[in-house]
Amino acid sequence: MKLSNHYHQLGEAFYHQGLPTPVAEPVLLLWNEKLANDLVINLSSQHDSELLAKYFSGNQLVEGSRPLSQAYSGHQFGHFNPQLGDGRAHLLGEIVDDAGQVKDIQLKGSGTSHFSRSGDGRCALGPALREFIMSEAMYALGVPTTRCLAVVATGEAVYRERPYAGAVVTRVASSHIRVGTFQYFAARKDTKSMKALVDFSCRRHFSEVNIIDADISEQDSSSQVLSFFEAVLAKQIPLVLAWMRVGFIHGVMNTDNTAISGETIDFGPCAMMNDYHRGSVFSSIDKNGRYAFGEQMTIMQWNMTRLAETLLPLLSDDQEQAIEKIEPLLAKFHQNLMRDYFIMMANKIGIETLIENDDDLITDLIELLEAEKLDYTQTFVKLTNAVINDENHHELKASLGSWFELWQQRISLDKDAAFQLMSKNNPLVIPRNHHVEAILASSQTAYQEKGNLSALNEFLAVLKQPYTQLAKTVDYQDAPSDGDENYHTFCGT
Ligand code: AMP
Ligand code: MG
């Protein structure tokens, strides 16, 4: 395994170089063998556990690694903070995967950096395991996401309101460039760095966008910036719609937690929706429901508008003209998002191509789900099954009334195709909050008592095949008996 350091090319305005702080007693708890293979890392937890624990705690540097912590700003719950940055993360470097894609390898919980402010730079074991479970579940559900390669226990305590076991989690991402990274340079009126960041982002993510030197042609350079922005927008649609499809609530869609690559990043306060409710929110600090389930499409547009603002100086010296250039892209983003939302929901009910009145069919269903407080995941599984057998018809008719018959008529022409489409789009199992919490509690006890993480691994095995009914799937399909009414999630743990 050998890492490269492309981010260094951007220069020191973009990061602070600094080493992870070594930990007392690193022990490898989770190793993502499949992801390691994809990254062509030829080390296994069976034979190289000690070395992996050293590498992925930060105690020993991987060949080629020149660790750094990235600078970024961000709007947190609508309020701009110009100085955030990786307060507890170190980018070890990049690796090329077996498909030729460059991926960042980043440690989180690896000690303080220039950006730590009053934080301790550490991460507790529970949130580290949670990020591993949630990101792997998202990946298997078909949601664009950052991944987890490893969780290493540090043998040190992390103090929150009481001591917890500490851990370092290794995140793999297409990049860690966030909307907040652009805001960092915009806030400093550093147009030169902005252009360098756009160029770097195009090289990394959008090779279809031609890079044009602003000194050679202002006109062409502004068309590059617009193409870049359009490419970023296109990535956010499948992201947020995949969340809406599976009932994922990100929980902290601050601009520093919005990656331009369109990957889910930052699993701190995320949760899954049970019964359909637009206002579903579990984050303890999201008192106004800014990041509630049903707000996510609107918030993504808000975040993209913030990104657009950072790009204005690259489009024209005249702000009005710059706005005129970029505004149509945001308007089109809104249209595409709404159009694709209906396509996504249509697919969930077995409709591939929308025809007249399908929008109403979808809207009516959503209203019924909300009014009848129906479990989102279970209802779509029942509808899928209802296409091929009539076991659930009575129950579905009772809750959905005449909608059920209208829908049956709509898909009657090709039931086979409808069933196939629905089976692909409606997961049988999601990482339900109550199961995740139960597994985390038992895993932490097992760790303390020097036991194994077999319960967690069994859960992961099910989550890795969410569209297939395995023998154990049924153990994790139930909705919580209390509707998770007292469930709260936390940021920055
Ligand atoms: P998050 O809520 O995880 O998106 O974090 C917001 C900001 O707080 C980022 O700049 C993090 O790097 C920083 N941060 C979160 N937890 C810690 C910590 N324990 N020590 C230092 N910085 C932290
Ligand atoms: Mg964050």
Whose alpha carbon is nearest atom 2 of ligand 1?
492
Distance from the CA of 468 to the center of ligand 1, in angstroms?
Answer: 37
Separation CA 424–CA 352 (nearest Å): 12
Alpha-carbon distances of 461 from 261, 355, 386, 431, rounded to whole Å: 27, 39, 27, 12
Q: 275 in the Ramachandran plot: left (φ > 0), alpha (ψ -120 to 50) or beta?
A: beta
Name the burial class of residue 485, with classes exposed (0-12), middle (13-18) and buried (19+) by CB atoms within 10 angstroms of its CB: exposed
Separation CA 33–CA 278 (nearest Å): 37
The Cβ-side half-sphere exposure at 142, using a 13 Å CA radius, reads 16
Give ligand 1 pocket residues (Cβ under 6 A).
84-88, 115-116, 119-122, 252, 256-257, 266, 268, 491-492
In order along its 493 residues, the chain shows pLDDT tens digits of: 999 999 999 999 999 999 999 999 999 999 999 999 999 999 999 999 999 999 999 999 999 999 999 999 999 999 999 999 999 999 999 999 999 999 999 999 999 999 999 999 999 999 999 999 999 999 999 999 999 999 999 999 999 999 999 999 999 999 999 999 999 999 999 999 999 999 999 999 999 999 988 777 777 789 999 999 999 999 999 999 999 999 999 999 999 999 999 999 999 999 999 999 999 999 999 999 999 999 999 999 999 999 999 999 999 999 999 999 999 999 999 999 999 999 999 999 999 999 999 999 999 999 999 999 999 999 999 999 999 999 999 999 999 999 999 999 999 999 999 999 999 999 999 999 999 999 999 999 999 999 999 999 999 999 999 999 999 999 999 999 999 999 999 987 6
Separation CA 318–CA 138 (nearest Å): 43
SS in 3 state form for 96-152? ECCCCCEEEEEEECCCCCCCCCCCCCCEEHHHHHHHHHHHHHHHHHCCCECEEEEEE
| Residues linked to residue 68 through DSSP beta bridges, in sequence order | 17, 91
Tokens (6 digits) for 9 = 């090319």
254 CA: nearest ligand 1 atom: 4
Q: What is the DSSP string of 420-437?
A: HHHHHHS-S----HHHHH
Grouping H, G, I as helix, E, B as strand and the rest as coil, residue 61 is coil
Chain-centre distance for alpha carbon 467: 20
Tokens (6 digits) for 380 = 């779509």
Contact in structure between 134 and 116 (CB atoms under 8 Å): no
Contact in structure between 105 and 149 (CB atoms under 8 Å): yes
Tokens (6 digits) for 51 = 């070395």
Separation CA 32–CA 169 (nearest Å): 11
Distance from the CA of 373 to the center of ligand 2, in angstroms?
Answer: 32
Write out the residues surrounding ion ligand 2, Cβ under 5 A.
257, 266
Separation CA 490–CA 395 (nearest Å): 37
Please tell me the number of the ligand nearest to residue 72's CA: 1
Separation CA 350–CA 213 (nearest Å): 48
Tokens (6 digits) for 278 = 């637009």
| Residues identified as active-site | 256
Terminal Cα distance for the chain, rounded: 30
Q: What is the pTM of this model?
A: 0.97
The Cβ-side half-sphere exposure at 183, using a 13 Å CA radius, reads 27
Contact in structure between 154 and 25 (CB atoms under 8 Å): yes
